[in-house]
Amino acid sequence: MQAIGLSMILGAPLIASVALLLLRGRSRRYAGWIAALVALFSLSSTFALLPALYSGEVPALQLPWIPTVGIQFELRLDWLALPFLVTEGAVTLVAVVYSWGYHHVDARTHLYYALLMLFALGMAGTTLADSMFLFYVFWELMLVASCVLIAVWGEGERRGAIALKYFLFTHFGSLLVLVSLITLYVAAGTDSFAALRTGVSLAPALANTVIVLFLVGFCVKMAVFPLHLWLPDAHTVAPMSVTIMLAAAMLSMGAYGILRFPLSAFTPSQMAPFAVPMMVGGLISEVYGAAMALAEQDVKRIIAYSSVSQMGYVLFGLGSLTREGIIGATLHVIYHAIVKALLFMCVGVVIRATGRRSISEVGGLRRAMPLAAVYTGVGALAIAGVPPLGVFDSEWMIFAGGFRSGHLWLGALVVLGSLLTVAYALWFWGRLFFGEHPERLEIRAVPLAMVVPTVVLAFLALIEGLFPGPLFAWAQQGLALLLGGTW
Amino acid sequence: MSGELLLGLPLAILAGGAVVAYLIARLLKASGEVLAVFVALVLALAVVPLVAIRVEPASRSDWVLLSVGSVLLLGDPGALVVGSIALGLGSIVSLYSGRYIADRDRVKLYYPLLVLLVAGLLGMVMAGDLFSLYLFCELMSISAYALVAFRREQGTAIEAGFKYLIVGSLGTALLLFGISFVYRAGGSLLLVSGPADLADRTWARAGMACMWVGLGVKSALVPLHTWLPDAHGRAPSSVSAMLSGIVVPSAFYVLLKTGVGLGFRAEDLGLLLIGLSLLNMTLGNLMALVQTDVKRLLAYSTVAQVGYVMFAVGVGLRYAAPDAIQAGFYLLLAHAAMKGLAFMCTGVSPSAADVTSWRGTAQRLPLVAAALAISLGGLAGVPPSAGFVGKWLILIRSLRQTDLLAVLATLLFLVNGLVSLGYYLPLIGAAFARPAGPAIETRVRPSAWIGLPLVGLGGLVLAIGIHPAPWLEWMSDVGPALLTWGALR
């Protein structure tokens, strides 16, 4: 039964994308509906497995694949994967619904939704995979699907070059991950993650190399400074729904990778030397991303750089190697997904309404778009970490992790750095909706399909901040799988 | 049926097939399509005995030896695998040629030549002694020269064929030279038995060096690859598919077979192959990166891909890892299918030469664009393609070795994979770009004759990648055979 549930999560988007490709042009009128239903189904399948998880079971599925080299098709849903899986599922659903309004139906619409489904499949597969080969296959599927989406439906003439840059850059990170994966495979003698759970014994120098390669590889995906160079361009050029999936869900795959490999396969003493580098990396990224967001003019790039900054918080929390820090980082992934999706949707609404992308050409929109002012405000305040919105909880935990780690000065710096986040968030909101309304700025109507999911997310940002209990419990459960489980 | 019969049958079928094909073309004035189907059937039929040999338990003592006159054939596992791949690809290419080779007057020459090319290749990889090897190598080479220059009305085709002829003849001459040295050293030409210390004799070493340079020309070892981009770039696409897909890799297998067959130490051969492979992949990828002509780009990609295969086999020989050799042969199979598919795609547009003129292919010819994406994605090693599985399997083996050479070589192997994306992706991108370029207008609309082989080979590429188990199983004996060959002597 659980195996069926697991295969549903992955099978639904796979079947949907194949069906959309086969139906070709005939399906373009209802391709969006199919994709949304499938995303909803996939998400519900995840929730359907929750009771099993609560009762202490671990849904898993094993099939032989390439027996000669011991490669198996293994899926497994544990507490570490759950928060990420739910986040991806929810973001996909929201992004698909948003596409109804954002994406103009044309001859290739079926292809667009099929690729969105493949992108979602890649992300869900990455989180569910329980063997290394399979993990990497899904990991790259995620990249291929998103790259095609950018190359074909991107905005602007340079989309081809930017897609190539995105592919090469993140593929470089993937290669580092690949080398580490195979080194673990060789050391453990098995493809299955079961070996990671029991611990892998490597020579100290080799273990350090593997950890470094994993961290650098996953930091490319997380777009942590200075490995973020692909992100601003890719996020700016991608169609908005794809940007939402990239920023809100795919970036956090890097955090998942760090949790799944270095943090669960190695012991606290093996990881200890990397704590300070990770925290410093997170801190620099936090400050750099926020500073760049302050300096940018393009509304989409502002929010894109905000991702660099936010992933800095996540890396800092993970690097603290403390209970609080890791819970905080996991929560931050979820909260950031909601808030980042919300902010990009707001940007999309503003661009659609005004037709302009430079923040200096827009202003005083609160009279013409009072509702947008409210939900953008919620997003801006949330990302600034204002209580009781969700991000406040996770940042609190991350800061606590920083102080608990024994590096007080790093903790203090990251708290101070968050001031920059407040600055760009409020300035962004203020410049868009307050101040002078430029003359000759026409406001056009925005499709309901773009507004409704945005409003829903704004409510979600409020609610999860007020009732964070279940999410804390999820993140806490995952801890038992990390660093030998002794906390 | 006895093993000897099974081993001889494919060559007999091909020899008969070539004659019959010529006769029905000449006497019955059969059209190109009829000949294509006939030759495809002949080649497919010839695979059956080869695969049947594999069914028997394969330990070294069971290798089949067949002696016909002065020709000695040896059914070693590697030869059976490479030979079967050649027959399979040849069969698909033949079908594809049905409409592609539209020259009514000269199809009567094209198909016999194609059969002879495959026959020469098959005999060459199955050769049990150096004499037969030389004989079949010449048969293959001469058919190949003629096929490269087949479109003689184009000046560039003649030029490419002539260049190939000159360089290739130099190669075969050196091969013959080397063979005479080896004979001088040991008094025997056999690849399965002979003096045990042959490899230590000076004449044998000199002969071996000559033979490797000669075969190195055929297998495009850098820096002996210079003829390849011209020949593969200007031959008809169906011929390029054969040359790049299987002729070059099969020459590499023969190179390997002479090395182990004459009793050279596997570790030394492995070291040499790793060194050469790094040259091949690096130069191949860098040169492909700067190409604008699609077929030349694919030709350089072959140089690089042969380098990957050599790397895997080299690692296997150097570190006595039969599964690395298996991985190399898996990549050889995958490459044959993927590169064959890629060249068949280029054949649909005789007018389009450079990458930018591929713009809009997806709009006009969705099937061709899809096939191109499948094959190039596979060559680039994007999961879950066969190319990726091959690279993964190679990495599993090479990362197990901890000495500096293996680590550095593996690093270079990975960097090469990244570099190669720089030319595969823009080509895929161009095929799916809009709006279409002007050159697209002149393209032929593919009929079922073109479409079916594309679909079939594309499906095969996907099948090899998604379900690699049976293919790997099929070539599981190759590694142990090559590693323990010396014990036969």
DSSP of A63-89, one letter per residue?
EEEEGGGTEEEEEE--TTTHHHHHHHH
Q: Which of A14, A69, A140 to mutate to test the interface with B (most CBs of B within 10 A)?
A: A69
* Residue B444: predicted pLDDT: 56
- Of chain B, the percentage scoring pLDDT greater than 90 comes to 47
Please confirm whether the linkage preceding B384 is cis (ω < 30° from 0): yes
Query: Is the pLDDT at B56 greater than 70, yes or no?
Result: no
Q: Any chain A CB within 8 A of the CB of B472?
A: yes
Strands A60-66 and A71-76: antiparallel
Residue contact A140–B472, C-beta within 8 A: no
Residue contact A168–B399, C-beta within 8 A: no
Of the partner residues A65, A137, A182, the one whose CB lies closest to the CB of residue B399: A182
Pull the structure tokens for residue B391. Answer: 């690279």
Which chain B residues have a beta carbon less than 8 Å from that of A112? none
Of the partner residues B396, B399, B418, the one whose CB lies closest to the CB of residue A175: B418
Q: Any chain B CB within 8 A of the CB of A66?
A: yes
Which chain B residues have a beta carbon less than 8 Å from that of A137? 383-384, 388
Q: Any chain B CB within 8 A of the CB of A422?
A: no
Burial class (CB in 10 A: 0-12, 13-18, 19+), A423: middle
Q: Any chain A CB within 8 A of the CB of B414?
A: yes
Residue entry with tokens 């903790």: A411
CB burial readout A136-169, b (16+ within 10 A) else e: bbbbbbbbbbbbbbbbbbbeeeebbebbbbbbbb
Query: Is the pLDDT at A33 greater than 70, yes or no?
Result: yes
Q: Any chain B CB within 8 A of the CB of A183?
A: yes
Residue contact B425–A175, C-beta within 8 A: no
Residue contact A163–B426, C-beta within 8 A: no
pLDDT in tens, B173-210: 999 999 999 998 888 888 877 777 777 888 889 999 99
Please identify among residues 187-206 of chain B the ones whose CB lies closer than 8 Å to any CB of chain A. none
* Residue B57: predicted pLDDT: 46
CA dist., res. A363 & res. A438, Å (int): 6
Q: Over chain B, what is the mean pLDDT?
A: 87
As a whole number of Å, the end-to-end CA separation of chain A is 33
Residue contact B414–A133, C-beta within 8 A: no
* Residue A125: predicted pLDDT: 93
Q: Any chain B CB within 8 A of the CB of A216?
A: no
- For residue B69, what pLDDT band results from cuts at 50, 70 and 90? confident
CA closest to A69 among chain B residues: B393
| Chain centroid offset of residue A156 CA | 24
Residue entry with tokens 């026959």: B119
CA dist., res. A118 & res. A133, Å (int): 18
Least confident interval from A466-470, B191-195, B209-213:
B191-195
Contact of A393 with A335, CB cutoff 8 Å? yes
- For residue A360, what pLDDT band results from cuts at 50, 70 and 90? confident
CB burial readout A299-329, b (16+ within 10 A) else e: bbbbbbbbbbbbbbbbbbbbbbbbbbbbbbb
Q: How far is A105 from chain B (nearest CA, A)?
A: 17
Mean per-residue pLDDT for A23-38? 82
Phi, psi of A156 (to 5 degrees): 105, 160
CA closest to A182 among chain B residues: B396
Q: What is the ipTM of this complex?
A: 0.79
Contact of A136 with A149, CB cutoff 8 Å? no
Pull the structure tokens for residue B440. Answer: 């697209």
Pull the structure tokens for residue A454. Answer: 């945005």
Helix (H, G, I), strand (E, B) or coil at B75: strand
Q: Any chain A CB within 8 A of the CB of B135?
A: no
CA closest to B377 among chain A residues: A144
Of the partner residues B418, B432, B472, the one whose CB lies closest to the CB of residue A68: B472
Q: Any chain B CB within 8 A of the CB of A166?
A: no
Q: Please provide the size of chain B in residues.
A: 489
Q: Any chain A CB within 8 A of the CB of B426?
A: yes
Which chain A residues have a beta carbon less than 8 Å from that of B429? 151, 160, 163-164
| Highest mean pLDDT out of A23-32, A51-60, A261-270, B458-467 | B458-467
Report the 10 Å Cβ neighbour count for A203.
10
Q: How far is A148 from chain B (nearest CA, A)?
A: 8
Residue A424 host element (H or E): helix A408-433
* Residue A108: predicted pLDDT: 81
Query: Is the pLDDT at B40 greater than 50, yes or no?
Result: yes
Please name every residue paired with B66 in a beta bridge, in sequence order, or none if there are none.
Answer: B73
Residue B68 host element (H or E): strand B64-68
Write the CA distances from B362 to A170, B373, B401, B431, B432, integer angstroms: 26, 10, 44, 6, 5
Cα four-point dihedral sign A155, A159, A165, A167: positive
Q: Any chain A CB within 8 A of the CB of B65?
A: no
Please name every residue paired with B72 in a beta bridge, in sequence order, or none if there are none.
Answer: B67
pLDDT in tens, B448-479: 888 899 999 999 999 999 899 999 988 888 88
Q: Any chain B CB within 8 A of the CB of A178?
A: yes
Q: Any chain B CB within 8 A of the CB of A424?
A: no
CA dist., res. B99 & res. B101, Å (int): 6
Q: Any chain B CB within 8 A of the CB of A352?
A: no
Of the partner residues A137, A141, A167, the one whose CB lies closest to the CB of residue B421: A167
* Alpha helix stretches (DSSP H) within B348-403: 361-364, 366-380, 386-398
Type of residue numbered B485: W
Which chain A residues have a beta carbon less than 8 Å from that of B393? 69
Pull the structure tokens for residue B324. Answer: 């690395």
As a whole number of Å, the end-to-end CA separation of chain B is 28
Residue contact B393–A151, C-beta within 8 A: no
CA dist., res. B440 & res. B432, Å (int): 12
Closest by Cα among B144, B117, B357 to B232:
B144
* Residue B488: predicted pLDDT: 60
* Residue B442: predicted pLDDT: 46
* Residue B440: predicted pLDDT: 53
Mean per-residue pLDDT for B70-98? 91
* Residue B438: predicted pLDDT: 61
* Alpha helix stretches (DSSP H) within A24-158: 31-48, 50-54, 82-102, 109-128, 132-153
Q: How far is B468 from chain A (nearest CA, A)?
A: 6
Which chain A residues have a beta carbon less than 8 Å from that of B384? 137, 141
Residue contact A68–B418, C-beta within 8 A: no
pLDDT in tens, B332-355: 999 999 999 999 988 886 555 777
CA dist., res. A160 & res. A152, Å (int): 8
A226 secondary structure, DSSP code? T
Contact of B283 with B306, CB cutoff 8 Å? no
CA dist., res. A448 & res. B196, Å (int): 83
Which chain A residues have a beta carbon less than 8 Å from that of B432? 148, 151-152
Q: Over chain A, what is the mean pLDDT?
A: 88
Q: Any chain A CB within 8 A of the CB of B382?
A: yes
Q: Any chain A CB within 8 A of the CB of B396?
A: yes
Closest by Cα among A225, A371, A357 to A303:
A357
Which chain B residues have a beta carbon less than 8 Å from that of A175? 414, 417-418
Of the partner residues A141, A167, A175, the one whose CB lies closest to the CB of residue B414: A175
pLDDT in tens, A276-295: 999 999 999 999 999 999 99
Least confident interval from A410-419, B265-274, B437-446:
B437-446
| Highest mean pLDDT out of B25-34, B110-119, B183-192 | B110-119
CA torsion, points B163, B167, B170, B172, in degrees to nearest 10? -110
CA dist., res. B43 & res. B41, Å (int): 5
CA dist., res. B285 & res. B297, Å (int): 9
Residue contact B384–A172, C-beta within 8 A: no
Residue B169 host element (H or E): helix B155-186
Closest by Cα among A125, A116, A115, A82 to A97:
A116
* Residue B1: predicted pLDDT: 54
CA dist., res. A243 & res. A240, Å (int): 5
Residue A233 host element (H or E): helix A230-237
Which chain A residues have a beta carbon less than 8 Å from that of B377? 144
pLDDT in tens, B396-428: 888 888 788 888 898 899 999 889 988 998 888
Of the partner residues A140, A164, A175, the one whose CB lies closest to the CB of residue B382: A140
Pull the structure tokens for residue A201. Answer: 């014994």
CA dist., res. A220 & res. B190, Å (int): 55
Write the CA distances from B61 to B49, B56, B58, B64, B484, integer angstroms: 19, 12, 8, 8, 12
The residues, ordered by sequence, that sit 6+ positions from A461 with a Cβ below 8 Å of its Cβ are: A335, A338, A339, A342, A378, A379, A382, A389, A390
